Amino acid sequence: MNIYFQLFSREISVAFKRWTDALTGFILFFLIAILFPLISDSNKEFLLTIVGPIMMFSAFFASMLSMQNMFKPDFQNGTIEQLMLSKGSFVSLILTKTIAYWLFTSLPLILISGLTASIYFVSASGILIIQLTLVLSTLTMVHINAFTAAITLGIRYPGALMTLIITPITLPILIFGSKTIENSILGADISGPLYFLTGMMMLSFFLGPWITASALKISMD
Amino acid sequence: MNLKKIYKYGSPPNFYRFAMKLEPWCLSLGLFLIAIGSIGGLFVAPKDYQMGDAFRIIYFHVPSAYLSMSAYAAMGIASIIGIVWRSNVAFAVAKSIAPFGALMTAVALITGMLWGKPMWGTAWVWDARLTSEFILLLLYFGYITLHATIKEQKKADRAASLLAILGIINLPIIHYSVVWWNTLHQASTISKLDSPSIVGEMLWPLLLMIIGYMIFFIGVICRGGSAEVLMREKRSNWVKEV
């Protein structure tokens, strides 16, 4: 059996055993989206203007919540070291791991976002755009999170440092993501910000695994 | 063939001697230019017909804003050199640039706020340049904190350099994404070379200040970098001789 496929199925089965990690992000995402109409104004026009930022914001926080555990358990029990020594390319192995992680932590958010968007009175076509935006932006964010988790691996309490590193790098994705959603709700052209998001995603797929792998190597020695 | 000459400065003793020779010249020349520029800017240049005397803060605002960006670029380049050639000197230089760059960013932000208060009526607006300058400050803080948190010297160097390189890739993206807001900040004063929107009497102190800041910056880097190199090599023989 292919080594990448083996790692992938291993990641999925481990993720099922640590399901609370994914669940916390999921609950946070849902709760932020529900709490906003409750604690602020709940009329339709207002909710439609803030749905874009809220979606991006809650996805950002949900992805940040679980990312400390992205490499830490595997680092402590020596799996990362074994991956480094294995015959496959380390960069591609990291890419496999990142995608498996994305499937488990971000895909549930995208599925539930249809429900949360309908709380904000978004139309059916708007929901599709929101989900597309979330797919593109979480696929970018997961690489940034992977890099940050890898580079702060040896630090005992990395919480504040992680936030400091991750916020400036993620900012463009948040801006363009909420711009896409806002434009689609206003009925304006969404191709500009959507192309940008796609470009960022391609760039992060190209650079992300490579830079994460070198960060892991630095944390290793 | 010329690379060999550059390689020579990659060795700590050579770099140290070179930096020590360069440092007093840069510091004094930089200070001299800054002094002339300040006198020219604060006393000689005529009042702005719109802003009055308040415009004179430009002589401190613009050079520090210039330097905050170019210091980050210098830090990124030093980091790349450090990662690629595993040069200890480059890491030391990158590390010594960071606090100075953060300081310049803070100065640019604060003078901008002081300037904005009487001119725009508020100290802060969510404007493209202000926001990206603020993000730049966060990037500097990230670098400094990451370097300070990792105990092992070599690990800290390489990890922080990786972050600086990522910041270099990301900085233009951040800038252009922030430009999406309508911008209140006035356009650059001296980038329009053919028809400058500033009169000569106002311009020359500004140029002097920018050049002075740059040269002073090189002096500071020489000082900080050589001190850092000394700290790192304190066990070796050539340091004992110095």
Per-position DSSP letters for A186-212, written without gaps between them: HT---HHHHHHHHHHHHHHHHHHHHHH
Q: Rounded to an integer, what distance in angstroms lies between the CA atom of residue B66 and that of residue B72?
A: 10
pLDDT of res. A140: 92
**Least confident range of A188-197, B73-82, B187-196:** B187-196
Q: Rounded to an integer, what distance in angstroms lies between the CA atom of residue A80 and that of residue B197?
A: 58
Q: For B68-93, what is the mean pLDDT?
A: 85
Q: Does the beta-carbon distance from B173 to A179 stay under 8 Å?
A: no
Task: Give the ipTM of the model, two decimals please.
Answer: 0.79
Chain A residue numbers with beta carbons less than 8 Å from the beta carbon of B149 are: 155, 158, 161
pLDDT of res. B215: 83
CB-based burial of residue B91 (10 Å sphere; 0-12 exposed, 13-18 middle, 19+ buried)?
Answer: buried
- SS3 sequence of B30-51: HHHHHHHHHHHHHHHCCCECCC
Say which DSSP state B228 is in: H
pLDDT of res. A105: 86
Mutate to test the interface with B, among A71, A164, A180, A201 (most CBs of B within 10 A): A164
**pLDDT bucket at B193, cuts 50 / 70 / 90:** very low
Q: Which of B103, B60, B163 is nearest to A219 (CA)?
A: B163
Could you count the other beta carbons within 10 Å of the beta carbon of residue B137?
A: 19
Q: For B39-65, what is the mean pLDDT?
A: 73
**pLDDT bucket at A143, cuts 50 / 70 / 90:** very high
pLDDT of res. A202: 92
- Chains A and B form CB pairs within 8 A to the count of 62
* Average pLDDT over chain B, rounded to an integer: 77
- Amino acid found at A57: F
pLDDT of res. A137: 92
Could you count the other beta carbons within 10 Å of the beta carbon of residue B39?
A: 13
Q: Is B138 on the interface with A (CB under 8 A)?
A: yes
**Least confident range of A138-142, A148-152, B9-13, B132-136:** B9-13
Tokens of A134: 């979330």
Q: Does the beta-carbon distance from B174 to A172 stay under 8 Å?
A: yes
**pLDDT bucket at B48, cuts 50 / 70 / 90:** low
Could you count the other beta carbons within 10 Å of the beta carbon of residue B152?
A: 12
**pLDDT bucket at A136, cuts 50 / 70 / 90:** very high
Taking 50 as the threshold, does the pLDDT of residue B194 lie above it?
A: no
pLDDT of res. A160: 82
User: How confident is the model over B126-172, as pLDDT tens digits?
Assistant: 666 777 788 888 889 988 988 888 888 888 888 888 888 888 887 77
Mutate to test the interface with A, among B105, B136, B149 (most CBs of A within 10 A): B149
Q: Rounded to an integer, what distance in angstroms lies between the CA atom of residue A164 and that of residue A161?
A: 5
Taking 50 as the threshold, does the pLDDT of residue A134 lie above it?
A: yes
Chain B residue numbers with beta carbons less than 8 Å from the beta carbon of A189 are: none
Taking 70 as the threshold, does the pLDDT of residue B189 lie above it?
A: no
Taking 60 as the threshold, does the pLDDT of residue A217 lie above it?
A: yes
Tokens of B132: 């990206």
- Domain boundary assignment for chain B: 17-185+196-241
Taking 80 as the threshold, does the pLDDT of residue B46 lie above it?
A: no
* Average pLDDT over chain A, rounded to an integer: 85
Q: Which of A140, A131, A148 is nearest to B173 (CA)?
A: A140
Q: Which of B162, B77, B171 is nearest to A153 (CA)?
A: B162
Taking 70 as the threshold, does the pLDDT of residue A12 lie above it?
A: yes
Taking 60 as the threshold, does the pLDDT of residue B72 lie above it?
A: yes
- Domain boundary assignment for chain A: 3-220
Least CA distance to A148: which residue of chain B? B163
Q: Which candidate from B141, B162, B170 shows the least CB-CB separation from A164?
A: B141
pLDDT of res. A135: 92
Which residues, listed in sequence order, are joined to residue B195 by a DSSP beta bridge? none
Chain A residue numbers with beta carbons less than 8 Å from the beta carbon of B169 are: 207
Q: For A31-37, what is the mean pLDDT?
A: 86
User: How confident is the model over A60-78, as pLDDT tens digits?
Assistant: 988 888 787 888 888 888 8
Taking 60 as the threshold, does the pLDDT of residue B188 lie above it?
A: no
